[in-house]
A and B are shown apart, each in its own frame.
Chain A
Amino acid sequence: MSSKTNRRFLLGVFEREEDLLVATDAARTRGFDIADVYTPYAVHGLDKAMGLRASRLPWVCFALGLAGATFKVWFEFWTSAVDWPINVGGKPWNSLPAFVPITFEVMVLFAGLSTVAAFLLGRGLLPGRRAKLAFPGVTDNKFALVLEETDASFDVDEVSAMLRGFGVTHIEERVDQEPL
């Protein structure tokens, strides 16, 4: 889909996470296209209700952790056995047990920072990005479910009635290029 095309969205706002969960689950099982869901905190079970596929971030974490550990073992070997050997307590230059704690720390550092960095890059959350709220209060105490009106069979009245059944407090239609 071209990014220039305007898309139509239906936004439903909920006061309670339980209402949001059942409404999202119902929207998915009825085959509606869930554009996104906005909540002030991580809601348990929401990924399942939205039908999200498993995150690929663990792979970044694993690969960069492994790379960090490998790099650190090599670096310690190079500094203490190749480039500037120093006799510490009569130990061999290449003393693997002494490298382990720092290797572990660097692995954790690489794995942790790279996962956060991959998340920020993947979401486009670069410095200078302005915050846009789907609805005032979604970072405070409101929960917003955004459905996309993908084709003509999307009946706004019918869907609104369904959402009202789940305790929606506010419904509005939006025309925009992106859900936000």
Chain B
Amino acid sequence: MTTPYPGLTPSHRTRALFKWLALLGAATFGLGLLFARQRALSSFLLLNIGFLGMGLGAAFFIALQYVCGAHWAVALRRVPEAMCGILPWAALGILITILVGRSLYPWTEEHATGMKGVILSYPFVLGRTVVFLGIWLLLVRALVHGSRLQDDTGDASLSESNVRLSAVFLVVFGLTFWVAVFDWVMSLEPEWYSTMYGVYHFAGLFLGAIAAIIILVVWLSRVGPLRSVLTAEHLHDLGKLLFGFSTFWMYIWFSEYMLIWYADFPEETAHFVRRLTGGWGPLFVANMVVTWLIPFFILLPKPVKRNPDMLVRVACMILFGRWLDLYLLIYPAAVGHETVTFGVLELGMALGAPGLFMLVFVRAYRACAPVPIADPLLNASLSHHQ
């Protein structure tokens, strides 16, 4: 099928960069498993939760657009759709972590008692993991498939069936995601619990996905496929979302912190004490500064949200903040809170993640037309204005 939109053909150098980064990450992970197993597994969990956030965040973005009947982002929809391509990899990574990384989870050794013992029993956790990952993969796959099929058939009823599918996905995602992060991340400290934990992870997940969408659409508008598509109007709306969800993340962060600070129960404050002592304090503050404080003031004026260069810089800062946030959630619990552990292993794997992500993204993006050419809302999206 011919389209007026050029396909994505990254230069040889760009592809080589992604490949070498991914190889670097894989090599450091392999060596890490041999020499510093706990750190390697913790980093592996961190990056796979990050990948999961990218995939589910992108799917959430698509689903939200469908159920709202929003037209503005239709022309850019292939970007979040291709981001969903990382989901099977993230699912595999999380499954491997649960199967191989039992040493991360104290409850696999010292069993809890009562209801908590039932919820944190290994077969039950493994079963939930498989079910959640399976349902998400099936729903997201169907959503992306429906959108791609429309390119060939031009059938407008596919939009309607995707609206229904999106509604199902949103409900299922909302009911399962918080349990999943309880199982995979919060249970690293099984004696600590917070009812804000699920929504806190959701805030970070969607924020990270918006930041990635911004970087990718700007990149694609520079290298070809979205050159005649992406306008300052689209960027303005994406910038507003980035601004809004950066603030939403901070709001949820503070809501969790303040309730625990106020009540001052030792078993609850332990979580924050571990992250404020032993050299973690500056990172704890830096997390808020790079994810919210600086982005908030930079993104306030309207012209910044319409400027691709500025928006990409802020998005990069927020993605770094996402890594730092997950690092602060996982490392003090799984590796040790007495000292800050960061070395070649963490750096190598963190650099490998964007390499692998981009390899998967480019492959998924090239699998179909760069713009949903048969979507009934495409023209409205192309001429979108505030």
Mark the stretch among A24-32, A93-101, A139-147 that contacts chain B.
Answer: A93-101
Contact A44 B385 (CB under 8 A): yes
Query: With A54-B302, A62-B300 as given contacts, are A97 and B261 in contact (CB-CB < 8 Å)?
Result: yes
- What B residues does A54 contact at CB under 8 A? 302
- Decide if B195 is an interface residue (CB 8 Å cutoff): no
Contact check: which of A58, A62, A89 meets B262 at CB < 8 Å? A89
- Decide if A45 is an interface residue (CB 8 Å cutoff): yes
- What A residues does B261 contact at CB under 8 A? 97
The smallest beta-carbon distance between B70 and chain A, in angstroms, is: 15
Contact A97 B258 (CB under 8 A): yes
In the assembled complex, the Cα of A54 lies from the Cα of B386 at a distance in Å of 14
- Decide if B257 is an interface residue (CB 8 Å cutoff): yes
In the assembled complex, the Cα of A89 lies from the Cα of B316 at a distance in Å of 42
Contact with B along A96-108 (1 / 0, CB 8 A): 0110110000000
- What A residues does B302 contact at CB under 8 A? 54, 58
Contact B385 A89 (CB under 8 A): no
User: Residue of A at shortest CB range from B264?
Assistant: A89
User: Residue of A at shortest CB range from B259?
Assistant: A97
The smallest beta-carbon distance between A16 and chain B, in angstroms, is: 18
- What A residues does B300 contact at CB under 8 A? 62
The smallest beta-carbon distance between B252 and chain A, in angstroms, is: 13
Contact with A along B148-168 (1 / 0, CB 8 A): 000000000000000000000
User: Residue of A at shortest CB range from B251?
Assistant: A104
The smallest beta-carbon distance between A77 and chain B, in angstroms, is: 17
In the assembled complex, the Cα of A98 lies from the Cα of B263 at a distance in Å of 11
Main secondary structure of the interface of B (DSSP, over half): helix
The smallest beta-carbon distance between A73 and chain B, in angstroms, is: 15
User: Residue of B at shortest CB range from A47?
Assistant: B386
- Decide if B193 is an interface residue (CB 8 Å cutoff): no
The smallest beta-carbon distance between A116 and chain B, in angstroms, is: 19
Contact B262 A100 (CB under 8 A): no
- What B residues does A100 contact at CB under 8 A? 254, 258
In the assembled complex, the Cα of A97 lies from the Cα of B288 at a distance in Å of 14
In the assembled complex, the Cα of A101 lies from the Cα of B257 at a distance in Å of 12
Residues 227-265 (chain B) with a chain A CB within 8 angstroms? 254, 257-258, 261-262, 264
The smallest beta-carbon distance between A93 and chain B, in angstroms, is: 15
The smallest beta-carbon distance between A35 and chain B, in angstroms, is: 25
Contact A44 B257 (CB under 8 A): no
In the assembled complex, the Cα of A62 lies from the Cα of B385 at a distance in Å of 25
Contact B257 A97 (CB under 8 A): yes
Contact with B along A40-69 (1 / 0, CB 8 A): 000011000000001000100010000000
In the assembled complex, the Cα of A169 lies from the Cα of B241 at a distance in Å of 41
Contact with B along A146-168 (1 / 0, CB 8 A): 00000000000000000000000
Contact B262 A45 (CB under 8 A): no
- What B residues does A45 contact at CB under 8 A? 385-386
In the A-B complex, list the 9 residue pairs whose CB atoms are closest, starting with the nearest. A97-B261, A97-B258, A45-B385, A100-B254, A44-B385, A100-B258, A44-B386, A62-B300, A89-B264
Interface residues of A (CB under 8 A from B): 44-45, 54, 58, 62, 89-90, 97-98, 100-101
Interface residues of B (CB under 8 A from A): 254, 257-258, 261-262, 264, 300-302, 385-386
